[in-house]
A and B are shown apart, each in its own frame.
Chain A
Amino acid sequence: MNSIETIIEKTNPLANKTKALPEDSEQFLYSQTRIQASTKKHLQENRIVSGFKPGPWLESYKMLRTRCLQIMDTNNWTTLAITSSGNKAGNSLTAANLAISISMELDRSVLLVDANLHNPSICKLFGLEPEAGLSDYLLHDTPLKEILINPDMDRLVILPAGKEMINATEMLRSPKMIRLVSELKNRYPSRIVIFDMPPLLSQADTLGFSPYVDCVLLIVDEGHTKTDELKRAATLLKDINVLGTVLNKASNNKIKYQDN
C-alpha cells in the first residue's frame, strides 16, 4: 500500500532504531534476526499501535491483551490463531496490535506468524520488505533465521507469509508446518505465538489449521459481520478452544482522526 514510502523509509538510516536489550533472554534471537523498522507515520497510517501516543487506541488493545493473557495463562495456552467470519474484518491489524501490546509486557516475547497465505498483509502493515517467508520455508526449506524479521520492537519477531500459495490449506496441514508449530511453541516457554489466519468461512485454511493451535480468537466486524455468519462460525468452532471474540471497529467509542 505504501511500498514506495516504505522503501524510502527503509533506506533512510535514521529511521532504524535499534533497541535490543542485552539482558533479555531472547537476545540471541535478535542477533540472528534482521531488524527492519518503519516510520512512525507509516505505522500510524496503518493503525499500528506503536505509531501512537498512549491513548484510547492503545488502551483498547491493552485491555484485549490482558484478557487474552489471563485466559491463556490459566489454560497454559501459548499459541493463538486470529480469524474472523468474513473478509476485511481486521484480522491482521488485530493480530499485529495484539502482538505489539503483548510484547510490551516485559516478561513476554511474541512471534507473529502471518499464516494468511492467500492475502498476506502483516508486512504491509509494518512496512516490512521480507525477502522470504513461510511459504519459502515450507517449499524450499529456507532457514528460519533468514526469514524472521524484527520490526524494531522489543520482544517481537515476525514470520512473514512470503509469496502467495495456491495450495495454502494443504501446506498449512503439512507435517513440516506442524513440526514448525510445535517447535515454535516449545522452544521458549514465555513466548506467545500468534497466527494471523484467513477468514474462517471463506477459506478452509483456518478450520484445517485450528487443531494445531491452542486457541482461536474470533474477530467480529461491527456493522459488517452478519449474525448468522457469527452463528455459523460458532458452529464450526464448537470443538476448538475459542479464546473469545473481539468486537472490532466499534462505533460507539469511535476515535476521531487527530494530527499528532
Chain B
Amino acid sequence: MENQAIDIKDYLNIVKRRSKYLLIPFVVVSILSIVLAVALPSVYRSIATILIEEQEIPSDLVRSTVTTFADQRIQVITQRIMTRANLMDIIQKFDLYPDARKSKSEERILEKMRKRIVVEPISANVIDKRSGQPSMATIAFTLTFDDNAPAIAQKVANELTSLFLKENIKSRTESAENATLFLSEESRRLKDKIEEIQSQFATFKEKNLNQLPQISQLNQQELTTLGSQLLNLDSQERSLHERQFYLEGELAQIDPHALATNATGNRVFDTRDRLKVLEAEYPSLLARYSENHPDVIKTKREIDSLKIEIGGNTNINKLNAELTNKKAELALILKQYSGKHPDVLKLQKQITTIQQAMVTAHETAESNTSVTPDNPAYITLNAQLQSIQADMGSLGFTRKELNQKMENLRTSLRQAPLVEKEYNDLIQELDNTNLRYREVSAREMEAQISQQLEVQRKGERFTLIDPPQEPLEPVSPNRMAIIFLGFVFAIASGFGCVFLVEMMGSTINNEKTIASILGVLPLASIPYLESREESETIAKRRFIMVICTLITITLAIIAFHFIVMPLDVFWFKLLRVIGAN
C-alpha cells in the first residue's frame, strides 16, 4: 500500500494507453525531418586562403605609414567589398539567385549573399618582439563563398578574392599617398608660415631699428659720448662768453671811427665830437657876432644837421618807451574790458600808430647811422666779436642737436624693453616654426619612402596561397544530422504530447492513484472484459486504420512526387545521403 511511487511499469502503461499521442507526432515529425533532409538544397563552399606577409624591408629601416592591424584592415576591406554596388556587380556578372531576383527585393538578395560570404582570420600565437608578451596575431585569413552550384561558388570566390587583393593594394597605396600628401601639404604650409614670420620680422626690425635689443647697448654708449660732448660744449661756450665779454669791453673803449687827420695834420673829428665842439663854440660865436652873422648861421646849421644825424636814435628810444607803456596799459585794460571796448580799440590803434612810427624811425635811423666805423682796431675787435658770436650760435645749434639726439636715444632706450618682448616673441615663433618645419620635412621624406614601399609592393602584402577550388562535396546540409535530430525531436514531441495529454486529463488509471488520493488501495481490481462486439469493432477499426494509412501514404507519396520532387530523384538522393555518410 505504501508503494505509491510511480515506477517504470506505470510509465509503460501510460505510454501504452496514450500510444496514439505518441505515434502520431512521432511519425509526422520524423517524416517531415526525412523530407527536409532530402529536399534541402546542397550548399557548396569554395575557400581561398590568403596569407598576410610582413613587409620585406625590416621595419627598423623603413617604417610603413599603414599601421593598422591586419585584422582591422581585413574587416575594413570586407566592408568595402560587401557594398551594394560590388555585390550587385557580382550578382549580375554570374547571374546569381535568378529565381530570388525575380521575386525578392534587392536588399533581401544582398543580405542573403552577405551571409554567404565569410571572411575568417587565422590566428597564431606569437610573441610580441617589442613587449615580449605572447599574443594572438592574424597570420592569414580565409575567404569563403557558399552557393548551391559548385562552379558558381568557385567563380564567385575567385572574384571576391581578386577584389580583396586589389582593394588591399589600393587602400594601402592610398593610405601611404594620403600620408605623403598630408605631410607635404603641412611642410608647405609651415614654409609659408616661416616666410611670413620672416617678413614680419624684417618689417618689425625696420620699424624698431633703434629700439632693437642689440642696438640698445650701442645707444647707451652713444648717450654717454653725447653727454661728454655736451660737457665739452659747455666749457667751450663758457670760454667764448668770457672772450665776448672781454672783446665787448675792449670795443667799448675804442672809437669806431679812427682819429683821422686831414691834410693839415689836424685831427678830423667825428660827428659827436664835432657837435660837441660846435656846441661849445656856438655861444662864443653868438657873443662875438650877431645872429645873422654868416659864421653864426653856418655853425647853427651845422649843429642842427649834426643833431639830426646823431639824435635819430633818441627818437626811436622815446617811441619804444611809449610803446611799452601803451602795451602795459592795454594789458591792464584787457583785464577789465573785452577786446571790443572803445578804450581797448583806441589803445590798439595808438599802438599800431607807434609801431608804424617806429618802423619809419628805424629806416631813418639806419640811413642816419650808415656811417661805417673805420677804426681798424675797432673793426678787428668787432670782427673778432662777431666771429665769437657766430661761434656761439653754432655752439648753440650743436647743443640743440645734441640734446635732440640724446632725447631720441633716451626715448629709444625707454621703449627698448617693450620692443624686446615683441622681438623675442617673433624669434621664438620663428624658431618653433622652423623646428616643426624640419620635423615635418623629415617625416615627409619618410612618408615618401614608405609610399615607394607600397608602390613597389614591398610592404605588408596579402598573398593568395590557396586559390578557391571548385568544391566536390557539399558542406551542408548535414542530412544525416538532420534525420537524426529529426528522430530525436520526433521522439521528444511524441513523449511531450503524451505528457501533455496525461497532465491535462488526470484520470485515474491504476490502483496507486486511488491509493494516493484516498490513502487506501481498492478492494479489488476488476479487469476489463472485452466483449465480442468490441473485439470485432477493434478488428474492424484496425483494418480501416490500415487501409486509411495505406491510402494516406500513397496520396502523400503521389503529392510528394508531383509537388516536391520526383520520387526517383528523391530515391537517388536518399541513397546518396545514406551512402555519403
Contact = CB atoms under 8 A, between A and B. Distances in A.
Interface of A: 45, 47, 56-57, 60-61, 63-64, 67-68, 71, 90, 94, 217, 220-228, 230-231, 234, 243-257, 259
Contacts of A63: 524
Q: Is the interface of A mostly helix, strand, loop or mixed?
A: mixed
Q: Is the interface of B mostly helix, strand, loop or mixed?
A: mixed
Nearest to A61: B526
B529 A245 contact: no
Interface in B483-519: 505-511, 513-514, 517-518
A90 to B, nearest CB: 8
A24 to B, nearest CB: 27
Given A244-B523, A246-B522, A246-B523, A230 B530 contact: no
Given A230-B514, A254-B527, A244 B522 contact: yes
B527 A245 contact: no
Contact of B508 (A57, A217, A225, A252): A225
Given A245-B520, A245-B523, A227 B507 contact: yes
Contact of B522 (A220, A254, A256, A257): A220
Given A45-B532, A252-B13, A257-B534, A64 B526 contact: yes
A44 B518 CA distance: 33
B531 interface: yes
A94 B514 contact: no
Interface string B463-495: 000000000000000000000000000000000
Nearest to A97: B526
A253 B528 CA distance: 7
Given A45-B531, A230-B518, A256-B535, A247 B526 contact: yes
Given A246-B523, A249-B528, A250-B527, A227 B506 contact: yes
A224 B506 CA distance: 9
Contacts of A243: 523
B511 A247 contact: yes
A255 B535 CA distance: 11
Contacts of B535: 256-257
Nearest to A66: B524
A257 B530 contact: yes
B525 interface: yes
Interface string B202-229: 0000000000000000000000000000
Chain B interface residue number, banded:
20 to 34
B507 A234 contact: no
Contacts of B526: 60-61, 64, 90, 94, 246-250
Contacts of B505: 226
B243 interface: no
B17 interface: yes
A225 to B, nearest CB: 5
Interface of B: 13, 17, 505-511, 513-514, 517-518, 520, 522-535
Contacts of B531: 45, 47, 257
Contacts, number: 114
Nearest to B539: A257
A174 to B, nearest CB: 31
A17 B13 CA distance: 44
B553 to A, nearest CB: 29
Contact of A245 (B13, B509, B514): B514
B19 to A, nearest CB: 12
A64 B511 CA distance: 14
A60 B522 contact: no
B514 A247 contact: yes
Contacts of A221: 508
B536 to A, nearest CB: 8
18 contacts: A45-B531, A63-B524, A64-B523, A217-B523, A226-B505, A226-B508, A244-B522, A244-B523, A245-B514, A245-B523, A246-B525, A247-B526, A249-B527, A249-B528, A250-B511, A254-B530, A255-B528, A257-B530
B507 A247 contact: no
A254 B529 CA distance: 6
A64 B533 CA distance: 26
Given A45-B532, A224-B507, A230-B514, A60 B523 contact: no
Contact of A234 (B506, B518, B528, B529): B518
What are the 6 closest A-B residue pairs judged by CB atoms, nearest first? A257-B535, A64-B524, A244-B523, A245-B522, A67-B523, A247-B525
Given A67-B524, A220-B522, A227-B517, A256 B530 contact: yes
Given A60-B527, A253-B527, A255-B529, A245 B518 contact: yes
A173 B312 CA distance: 187
A101 to B, nearest CB: 11
A135 to B, nearest CB: 29
A234 B513 CA distance: 14
Q: Which of A47, A224, A231, A250 has the most CB of B within 10 A?
A: A250
A246 B13 CA distance: 19
